[in-house]
Amino acid sequence: RLRLLPSWARHMKRLLAAAEAQDKSVFAQLLAEPRRQTWRLGPQRQQDLLLNVFWPWVARTDPARALSAWRTARMAPNQKTATARARLLGSTRLTPAENQEALLQQGLLHLFDDFCVAEGCSRCSLAAQLTSLPDAVSRPESAVA
């Protein structure tokens, strides 16, 4: 991926201008445009960049718009989110759509970095707090039944 850095550097001004203008279509077009051998971004990676770069940039000035995009967008689970989901959500069942919801994926990535990486499993303060919650709080669907 480091070999792509020169290509990215050449397009960075235009990408940042599109992000600053909150123009998703131009940003996405810039990601898809350079189909040269040095760029090689597939559709899923383009989507990940929209979710991880464009929408956080938009969130600085228009959080409602970014939140709406994160709720409707889909993001492929990865090893980090799968690990965080298993460690922090345990046996909680998610629908396939929930598993790919970008907002959930972003939250899991944040939790993974803050707790799984920073503290490690044996010292995880969040996991300890989650396991100590009563069922109705930790599993809201059980409170409805």
Six-digit token pair at 20? 């600053």
What's the CA gap between 97 and 88, in Å, rounded?
19
User: Which of 94, 91, 87, 95 lies closest to 125, judged by CA?
Assistant: 87
Per-residue pLDDT of the chain (145 residues; tens, 9 = 90+): 566 666 667 778 888 888 889 998 888 888 776 555 455 667 777 788 888 888 888 888 999 998 888 888 887 778 888 888 888 777 778 787 777 788 888 888 888 888 888 887 778 788 778 777 665 444 444 333 3
Q: What is the pLDDT of residue 141?
A: 45
Q: What is the pLDDT of residue 64?
A: 92
104-117: pLDDT as tens digits: 888 888 888 888 88
Please give the model's pTM, rounded to 2 decimal places: 0.57
Q: What is the pLDDT of residue 53?
A: 82
What's the CA gap between 69 and 55, in Å, rounded?
7
Q: What is the pLDDT of residue 134?
A: 64
